[in-house]
A and B are shown apart, each in its own frame.
Chain A
Amino acid sequence: MGGVTVLSMDRVGFSRDGQPIVQDVSFAVGEGEMIALLGPNGAGKTTILRLLLRLLRPDKGKILLDGRSLAGLRRRDLASRIAYVPQGHAVIFPYKVRDVVALGRLADTMFSPVASAADRAAADAAMGHLAVGHLADRSYAALSGGERQGVLIARALAQGARILVLDEPETGLDYGQQRRLFDLLRHLAAEGYAIVATTHDPLRAARTFARAILLRQGRIMDDGPAVTVLSEQSIATLYDFDA
């Protein structure tokens, strides 16, 4: 288990059009913890990520960040604590990697025409930390999926956030890229970053993540150390096949 609790859900429920999507979900995320959210499509993984990022508001229960209600935080305070790392997507306009990473500093300087020297330094430091500095002057759109993931994580670090929320980060990456990505996430967790990621790959999760939360029909089916929680039997139950 990780250190001090930074983020927690307490009996959270969320429904859409009267249909419950997430029900009675409670878990706490500690500093330096690396948590995988697993479950079949429609189990509520992405909804939970979106609730943690305050992109959705819970109908029931509470979400706490550093012990304070997520709902009452100012946008910029939220941005400085939690960062979202989406899948390495395409962006229509050809922004340079340097600019994409510097956007992480946006919350503090919303109306300034240029990123300040301090912001650029933070962006450079984040790129250096993740070994994507050599891409700084490339167009983000021209990068491979793996490189894009690296850049988006660098942006999250530049944002100053210590909690990273990732949406199926392995999507579209080849084996080597996946290995490097998860090694990187493990390093970040060792440095104290809290990491919550959805994933489709239970075998990878068992090997890489310290903890796994299994979701089925909007509820937590099991939560614990990944190696124990992800038994052959539980994976079969989770994904509905005969073991």
Chain B
Amino acid sequence: MTIRVWRDRLGVILPPVLLAGLAITSLRIGRYPVGFGDIASVLLDDGTGMPVERQALLHTIVVQTRLPRIAGAIVVGAALSVSGAGYQAVFRNPLVSPGLLGVLAGAGFGAALGIVGDVGATGVHVLSFLGGGLAVAAGVGVARLFDAASILMLVFGGLVSSALFTALLSLLKYVADPERQLPDIVFWLLGSLTQVDMSDLLTISVPVLGGIVLLSLCGRMLDALAMGDDEARTMGVPVGVLRYGVIAVATVLSALTVSIAGMIGWIGLIVPHVARLLAGPRNTRVLPLSACLGGAFLLLCDDLARSISAEEIPVGLIADVLGVMVFVSVLRLVRRGWAA
């Protein structure tokens, strides 16, 4: 009994501590060498015995350049992973990812529309977010034409919506100016955190954190949903409200990430598996742990993206490659996470 209690407590405390450690370590990574002492002095605002110019330089590097980027990686990774865990719970399927209902295709289309329409960076963010929401609304709308909350119809609606918005995206690529706009679209679709600044971060952090908390609070109801809709209903769960509510929150989370960081796939699929492997299937555990692990994973990918070569590599590529490697290496274990 006590061993289990302690293991449970450790499971709650350890992941955020490790994530914080990784974040602080990541502040050191980059072209200009910065030590732990320097980081401490900047973060604690205690520059005693340091020349003023160096203080200013350190402040610029650590606070203005590296910190938003690191925080961005954590927020985006966490949002995508929680979103994936939410989708998997609602669809009772461990192979579902946040893209299922078309959010990624729609957000990609929205961003490309912004780039082709020359609406500026903020406009691209907004259009991308709206595109993601619109695509999911279209997918759910198609599903509702036939049968209210059936999982199969939702999957079908998502397929239709994804196909439509992927086609529209291709159309935009076709008409985009090949010198100026097409490369922007392609680069944006690869996924990158280079554009993330403090104001983006502040805009998305609040809804992302709120969404993570909200989904985590629904954890036990999602556990009941895993037993089947009828059973969940007879146990008092408002199944329709829960399903659409979780889809809405998870969609907002992933659309927000795409709007600031482009297309970063996979991790929403993989991270919840690893979380389930570590903490068991209960969603009250899986959702917050997915947030921590997803944040850490994307941060690690971004550290690699900006350090393995002089020319930065889009983090979306690294996340895909590393994600595949992680997934394949834990697949045998992960399968234990889906009851045979």
Chain A residues with a Cβ under 8 A of chain B: 50, 53-55, 75-76, 78-79, 82-84, 86, 89-96, 99-100, 103-104, 106-107, 109-115, 139-142, 159
Contacts and interface: CB of A to CB of B under 8 A. Distances in A.
B339 A75 contact: no
Nearest to B218: A111
A113 B228 CA distance: 20
B154 interface: no
Given A92-B94, A95-B282, A141-B339, A112 B233 contact: no
Given A55-B234, A86-B231, A113-B284, A94 B336 contact: yes
8 contacts: A79-B235, A84-B230, A89-B227, A103-B223, A106-B235, A107-B236, A111-B217, A141-B340
B234 A113 contact: no
A93 B236 contact: no
Q: Which of A53, A96, A106, A159 has the most chain B CB atoms closer than 10 A to its own CB? A: A106
Given A86-B230, A106-B237, A92 B339 contact: yes
A140 B280 CA distance: 12
A139 B94 CA distance: 17
A103 B224 contact: yes
A79 B92 CA distance: 22
A240 B212 CA distance: 57
A172 to B, nearest CB: 16
B226 interface: yes
Contact of A75 (B226, B230, B236, B336): B236
Contact of A93 (B217, B226, B238): B226
Given A53-B230, A106-B237, A114-B284, 6 more contacts: A79-B236, A92-B92, A95-B282, A103-B224, A106-B235, A111-B217
Contacts of A103: 220, 223-224, 227, 235
Contacts of B282: 95, 99
B235 A159 contact: yes
Contacts of B233: 53-55, 75
A78 B236 contact: yes
A158 B276 CA distance: 26
Nearest to A165: B234
Contact of B220 (A83, A94, A106, A139): A106
A95 B236 contact: no
A133 B71 CA distance: 46
* The 6 A-B residue pairs with the shortest CB-CB distance in the complex, in nearest-first order: A141-B339, A107-B236, A93-B281, A79-B236, A84-B234, A94-B339
Interface of B: 92-94, 216-221, 223-224, 226-228, 230-231, 233-238, 276, 280-282, 284, 336-340
Given A99-B282, A109-B220, A94 B228 contact: no
Of A93, A95, A107, most B-chain CB atoms within 10 Å: A93
A104 B220 CA distance: 11
A139 B281 CA distance: 10
Contacts of A75: 233, 236-238
Contacts of B234: 53, 55, 78-79, 82-84
A94 B337 contact: yes
A151 to B, nearest CB: 11
Contact of B339 (A79, A90, A106, A159): A90
Contacts of B230: 50, 53, 55, 84, 86
Contact of A104 (B235, B276, B338): B235
Nearest to A142: B339
Nearest to B236: A107
A61 B100 CA distance: 42
Given A114-B284, A139-B339, A142-B339, A92 B93 contact: yes
Nearest to A99: B282
A143 B3 CA distance: 25
A75 B237 CA distance: 8
Given A91-B227, A139-B339, A113 B216 contact: yes
Interface centre among B218, B227, B230, B236 (most CB of A within 10 A): B236
B288 to A, nearest CB: 9
Given A55-B230, A76-B236, A99-B282, A110 B339 contact: no
Contacts of A50: 230
Nearest to B242: A110
Nearest to A109: B220
Contacts of B284: 113-114
Nearest to B281: A93
Contact of A106 (B216, B236, B281, B338): B236
A204 B38 CA distance: 79
A107 B337 contact: no
A78 B238 CA distance: 12
Nearest to A55: B230
Kindly name the residue among B217, B235, B338 whose own CB sees the greatest number of chain A CB atoms within 10 A.
Answer: B235
B231 A93 contact: no
A78 B227 CA distance: 18
A113 B214 CA distance: 11
Contacts of B221: 106, 110-111
Nearest to B340: A141
Contacts of B227: 89, 91, 100, 103
